[in-house]
Amino acid sequence: MNAPNGSPGTSIPPAIVDTNALTSALRTLKLGGMLQTLDARLHQARAGELGHLEFLQVLCLDEISRRETTAIARRTRRARFEQTATLEGFDFTANPKLPAAQIRDLAALRWLQAGESVIEPPWVDERLLIQQGDWSHVRSPQVR
């Protein structure tokens, strides 16, 4: 029998991992994303690129990424789009009047994180605002 860790002159055998049991446990916990990247992450850990906590964190991030990708694919299928399009693939040169920079800025969602509104509430009565001396809500013919 081996002595406890840290005893001089003793060696502790490497932990034997039952990959079938690990695979079964990860599937039971519905952590399939970890299974897909486990070998690569183990290689990184053995090479000294990842510490214990980093290894676990990267595996968790892999799982989150897989779930997000799966959710987007599932929602796209349910929506039954004829084709999938992204803003990156949009041809803004086809209509030069489109404010490409403003559209990209809106798509970045910084306005949402800042708690700002990008449209006026429908109950704003411009005539009332003008009577009160607030001209900031008056629409101009240009796109804001």
Asked which of 79, 94, 110 is the last residue of a domain, the reply is 79
**Crossing angle for the helix pair 32-46 and 52-79, nearest 10 degrees?**
150
Residue 105 CB-half CA count within 13 A = 8
The whole domain housing 100 covers 85-144
Same structural domain for residues 68 and 98? no
**Total of domains in the chain:** 2
The per-residue pLDDT for 54 is 94
Q: Which of 30, 51, 79 is the last residue of a domain?
A: 79
User: Could you say which of 79, 107, 124 is where a domain stops?
Assistant: 79
Amino acid identity of residue 11, one-letter, is: S
Is 55 inside any structural domain? yes
Based on the domain organization, do 67 and 44 belong to the same domain? yes
Domain identity same for 73 and 94 = no
Residues 137 and 129: beta-carbon distance below 8 Å: yes
Check whether 119 has a pLDDT greater than 80. Answer: no
Burial of 37 (0-12, 13-18, 19+ CB in 10 A): middle
**Cα dist from 69 to 36, 65, 72, 74, 135, whole Å:** 14, 6, 5, 9, 45
pLDDT over threshold 60, residue 36: yes
89 and 144 together in one domain: yes
Examine the domain organization and report whether 71 and 90 are in the same domain.
Answer: no
Question: Can you tell me whether residue 108 is helix, strand or coil?
Answer: coil
Q: Are residues 67 and 122 in the same domain?
A: no
Identify whether residues 104 and 69 lie together within a single domain: no
The pLDDT of residue 98 is 85
4 found inside a domain: no
Residues 89 and 143 in one domain: yes
Q: What is the pLDDT of residues 66-105, one digit of tens each?
A: 999 999 889 988 988 877 778 888 888 888 888 888 888 8
